[in-house]
């Protein structure tokens, strides 16, 4: 097993220093008649010009040095094995994350096939807008991952809502609106079976809360609303306004921006609206429907 040059030099210098110190200690002790070596130690000074005890000490130190080198080599082997296992674990973790992402996209595709409003990759666009805003805010990879999964599944609860209500071309009456308002709670119950992560579940449950406290289902206000829910609320509203619906034609980007500004402080977090508009002003928001995906560093297993 090869030993790196700096490590070998360190070991040899250490052994040399120890040898010299021991030699000086013993020699001074002998001169002062404080140390007497056993008679059983032969005197080879006639052959080598040095005391026999020095040869014995050299052999002991050589054995110690060899043991140190052997231990070092074993540590190097264990370190390499650890790195190999670590790489394999990272690879497995990435594969698990990709499987989760694929499962979530499949679940979202099921909803899109059922709800006409979701056609045209609405959920992917909302996820893209949410990711762009989360990155703009400088959130951690774990937070970005949670927002991605929550945005992809924020309307999954509509699976439990009647198709007649979901695809109704006219306005909804009070009873139908009450039914629609159940979808965040239904969605949370569905998703918690797959993703046991509080940040994801809270974002899904509260993405229809209003900044002024008049939203649903809990009437939360301002910072009481989870950050992920406030982000998804803006992304969802922007995409809803800029997409065709059974009951109206799509807004232009400029019209949607006017509505976002008009509702800042009442429906939406005004600071997040400002950062969202910064994205649109720089052209960093992909409003054409092109998806924005998680980067490798942002791929995190979304379960405890």
Most confident of 22-36, 131-145, 273-287: 131-145
pLDDT of residue 297: 55
Same domain, yes or no: 48 and 128: no
Higher pLDDT, 120 or 211: 211
Q: What is the pLDDT, as a whole number, of residue 23?
A: 64
Summarize pLDDT for 80-99 with one digit per residue, the tens.
Answer: 888 888 888 777 777 666 66
How many other C-beta atoms can be found within 10 angstroms of the C-beta atom of residue 208? 21
The answer to whether 124 and 291 have CB atoms below 8 angstroms apart is: yes
Q: Take residue 9 and report the two structure tokens written for it.
A: 């030099």
Name the more confident of 152 and 108: 152
Angle at 158 between CA 197 and CA 125, to 5 degrees: 70
pTM (2 d.p.)? 0.65
User: What pLDDT does 291 receive?
Assistant: 45
Q: Are residues 228 and 156 in the same domain?
A: yes
Measured CA to CA in angstroms, residue 196 lies from 101, 189, 209, 285, 291 at distances of: 15, 10, 22, 30, 25
Give the end of a domain, one of 87, 107, 139: 87
Average per-residue pLDDT for the chain: 76
Residues 179 and 289 in one domain: yes
Question: For residue 21, what are its two tokens?
Answer: 């110190």
One domain for residues 275 and 132: yes
Q: In this structure, are 147 and 221 located in the same domain?
A: yes
Examine the domain organization and report whether 190 and 287 are in the same domain: yes
Q: Averaged over 183-197, what is the pLDDT?
A: 84
Q: How many domains does the chain have?
A: 2
Identify which has the larger pLDDT, 171 or 87. Answer: 87
Q: Band of the pLDDT at 289, cuts 50, 70, 90?
A: very low
Distances, alpha carbon 281 to alpha carbons 127, 181, 264, 276, in Å: 19, 33, 17, 9
pLDDT higher than 50, residue 1 = no
The residue with greater pLDDT, 64 or 111, is 64
Q: Does residue 149 sit in helix, strand or coil?
A: helix
| Residue, of 122 and 30, whose pLDDT is higher | 122
Range of the domain at 160: 115-298
Whether residue 178 is found in the same domain as residue 222: yes
Assess if residue 75 is contained within a domain: yes
Query: In the structure encoding, which two tokens stand for residue 84, read together?
Result: 């190999």
Q: Encode pLDDT of 258-283 as tens digits.
A: 999 999 999 999 999 999 999 888 87
Q: What is the C-alpha separation between 76 and 198, in angstroms, rounded?
A: 41
Helices assigned H by DSSP within the chain: 5-31, 45-48, 52-114, 122-136, 141-152, 163-166, 174-180, 183-191, 198-205, 227-241, 253-262, 270-282
Residue 276 contacts residue 238 (beta carbons within 8 Å): yes
Least-confidence region, from 159-163, 268-272, 284-288? 284-288
């Amino acid at each position: 097993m090869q030993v790196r040059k700096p490590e070998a030099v360190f070991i040899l210098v250490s052994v040399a220093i120890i040898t010299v110190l021991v030699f000086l200690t013993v020699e001074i002790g002998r001169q002062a008649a404080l140390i007497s070596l056993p008679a059983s130690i032969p005197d080879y000074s006639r052959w080598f010009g040095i005391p026999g005890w020095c040869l014995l000490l050299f052999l002991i130190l050589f054995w110690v040095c060899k043991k140190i080198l052997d231990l070092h080599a074993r540590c190097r082997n264990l370190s390499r094995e650890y790195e190999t296992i670590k790489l394999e674990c990272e690879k497995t973790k990435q594969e698990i994350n990709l499987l989760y992402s694929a499962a979530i996209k499949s679940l979202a595709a099921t909803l899109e096939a059922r709800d006409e409003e979701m056609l045209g990759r609405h959920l992917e666009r909302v996820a893209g807008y949410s990711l762009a805003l989360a990155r703009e805010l400088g959130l951690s990879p774990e937070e970005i991952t949670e927002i991605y999964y929550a945005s992809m599944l924020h309307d999954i609860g509509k699976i439990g809502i009647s198709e007649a209500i979901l695809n109704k071309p006219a306005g909804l009456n009070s009873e139908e609106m009450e039914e629609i308002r159940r979808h965040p709670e239904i969605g949370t119950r569905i998703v918690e079976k797959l993703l046991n992560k509080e940040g994801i579940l809270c974002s899904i449950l509260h993405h229809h809360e209003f900044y002024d406290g008049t939203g649903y289902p809990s009437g939360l206000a301002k910072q009481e609303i989870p950050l992920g829910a406030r982000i998804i609320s803006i992304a969802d509203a922007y995409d809803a306004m800029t997409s065709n619906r059974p009951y109206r034609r799509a807004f232009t980007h400029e019209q949607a921006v006017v509505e976002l500004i008009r509702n800042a402080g009442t429906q939406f977090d005004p600071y997040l609206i400002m950062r969202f508009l910064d994205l649109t002003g720089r052209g960093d928001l992909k409003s054409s429907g092109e998806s924005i995906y998680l980067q490798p560093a942002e791929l995190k297993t979304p379960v405890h």
